[in-house]
Structure 1
Amino acid sequence: MAKAEFSPSLMCMDLLELKEQVAFLNGKADFYHVDIMDGHFVKNITLSPDFVRALSRIAAKPIDCHLMVTNPEDYVESLAKAGAGYITPHAETLCNQAFRMIGAIRDAGCKVGVAVSPATPLGMLESYLHLVDKLTIMTVDPGFAGQPFIREMLDKIALAARLKAERGYTYKIEVDGSCNVRTYRELYAAGAQVFILGSSGLFGLDASLPAAWDKMCAQFAGETGV
């Protein structure tokens, strides 16, 4: 299986310690996960293109912007200029503009991600899956941290892995929601490659981020053997 990769969810970090924590994570993480919510597609409002601009000055790993917004087209240019490496809109917002959005993200110099809410079937993405660099499968409903794991998503992850192998797709399979010691084994076995780490998977494990990272790695290795 592919090497596991880790993407800390920065809305769960101590933002007062942003510079210090990013300096540590630059040597550990594979991506930075930045949730951008508009208060419409989901009820919450979180980070912004201005946050991405500040982060890009100190980040040494790609910044992945997860757009939980109704109109993702309004964010592509500003996020690309701010330093985003990946722009990941939701499939539910792309119904009538998927190819246009994919083209706009690529033209802006970013890689293309697509996120899928739990109730959305992968078949909805079938016509453009071959164009996607990263497929983010949500294992909780979008909008808030700390929700319970939706076990039915294990089958969706396995299907994404099977389609990738059978059709030669190149996307990374990423999981967003409840990635922690209780789910690592099943997620990895199903085919997950990139694990988004929030409060339960990283930031809530210890007040010291280096200690929390060591605990996460030990938990992951203990559950998956890798």
Structure 2
Amino acid sequence: MKHKIELSPSLMTMNLDKFKEEIEFLNDNVNSYHIDIMDGHFVPNITLSPWFIEQVRKVSDVPLSAHLMVTDASFWVEKLIDIKCEFICMPAEVINGVAFRLIDEIHDAGLKAGVVLNPETPISAIQSYIDLIDKITIMTVDPGYAGQRFLKNCLNKVSKLRKLREENGYTYELEIDGSTNIKHWKLMSDVNPDIYVIGRSGLFGLTENIESSWGQMVEEYEKSTGYKFNNGIYVKNN
């Protein structure tokens, strides 16, 4: 059984003192980069920015996915459109009243529009525009900090959204973000997401260098799930 997944390292959690080394290795191994943009209001932290995205672009042509944790989505969407960020993923909690306009603006710019569901946010919050979305990110931790408690019940959203996609012909991708590591690979794999966001506990913090960390991550995934990695396709072992 073949199941294609994508891996999207969270650059907020990489080792910035080894930025060039890690990016150069990952460029040949990943499908996208996950970039958290926090404004200090929607969540307490302030991290990364469109400027950071522009710096990544100088050393990588891998598609970039911005995860907005901001109160003024319109402001940040405009900035990300200006720099042509491939995926712009907005918090469902703050775009009520502007969702259709922002989605249209992103699509008109030739980019892809995503929406993020925090743990407490139900699928019903995005029902009115779910058919327009290119990606749905399901948070399995509270947003704003790395290393938080894994919230298993959030995985139910992935199963429900996959069923909705199959029944209605929707085209969004399903992404899991939060505590993606050896403790939870099997649980996550069982609900069949399309994209895994991987951070410090699942990749960057495993060993002293990115190549061995990547090897350990692949080994942990394979042992946990029974899938064998082969050029981006995971094949179920007999």
TM-score under structure 1 length normalisation = 0.96
Q: Which amino acid aligns with 2:221?
A: F
1:58-108: per-residue Cα shift (whole Å, max 9, x none)?
122110000000011101232233341100011001111110110111123
For 2:165 and 2:225, the matched residues in 1 are separated by: 21
State which drifts further: 75-84 or 179-188.
Answer: 75-84
Q: Report how far residue 109 of structure 1 moved.
A: 2.6
Q: Which amino acid aligns with 1:196?
A: V
Q: Which amino acid aligns with 2:42?
A: F
For 1:180 and 1:170, the matched residues in 2 are separated by: 27
Q: Which amino acid aligns with 2:13?
A: C
1:24-67: per-residue Cα shift (whole Å, max 9, x none)?
10101111000000000000000001000111121221100000
Partner residue in 1 for 2:234: none
Partner residue in 2 for 1:185: 186
State which drifts further: 145-154 or 101-110.
Answer: 101-110
Partner residue in 1 for 2:52: 51
**How does 1:196-215 map onto structure 2 within 5 Å?**
196-215=197-216
SS in 2 for 1:152: helix
Partner residue in 2 for 1:218: 219
State which drifts further: 112-121 or 15-24.
Answer: 15-24
Partner residue in 1 for 2:141: 140
Partner residue in 2 for 1:110: 111
For 1:71 and 1:56, the matched residues in 2 are separated by: 25
Partner residue in 2 for 1:26: 27
8 Å CA contact retained: 1:56, 1:82: no
For 2:153 and 2:30, the matched residues in 1 are separated by: 28
1:129-174: per-residue Cα shift (whole Å, max 9, x none)?
1111111000011110100100111211111111111111111110
Q: Report how far residue 12 of structure 1 moved.
A: 0.4
For 2:31 and 2:222, the matched residues in 1 are separated by: 17
For 1:181 and 1:83, the matched residues in 2 are separated by: 34
Q: Report how far residue 198 of structure 1 moved.
A: 0.6
For 1:80 and 1:52, the matched residues in 2 are separated by: 12
TM-score under structure 2 length normalisation = 0.92
For 1:77 and 1:2, the matched residues in 2 are separated by: 35
Determine if the alignment matches structure 1 residue 7 to structure 2 residue 8: yes
Determine if the alignment matches structure 1 residue 63 to structure 2 residue 95: no
Structure with greater strand share of residues: 2
Structure 2 portions without partners, runs of 5+ = 228-238
For 2:190 and 2:10, the matched residues in 1 are separated by: 22
Q: Which amino acid aligns with 1:132?
A: I
1:196-221: per-residue Cα shift (whole Å, max 9, x none)?
00111101111110100111111111
For 2:84 and 2:29, the matched residues in 1 are separated by: 20
Superposition misfits of 4+ residues, deviation over 2 angstroms: 80-83
SS in 2 for 1:185: helix
For 2:187 and 2:22, the matched residues in 1 are separated by: 29
Aligned length: 226
For 2:116 and 2:126, the matched residues in 1 are separated by: 10
Percent sequence identity is 43
Q: Which amino acid aligns with 2:201?
A: S
Partner residue in 1 for 2:230: none
Partner residue in 2 for 1:74: 75
**How does 1:117-196 map onto structure 2 within 5 Å?**
117-196=118-197
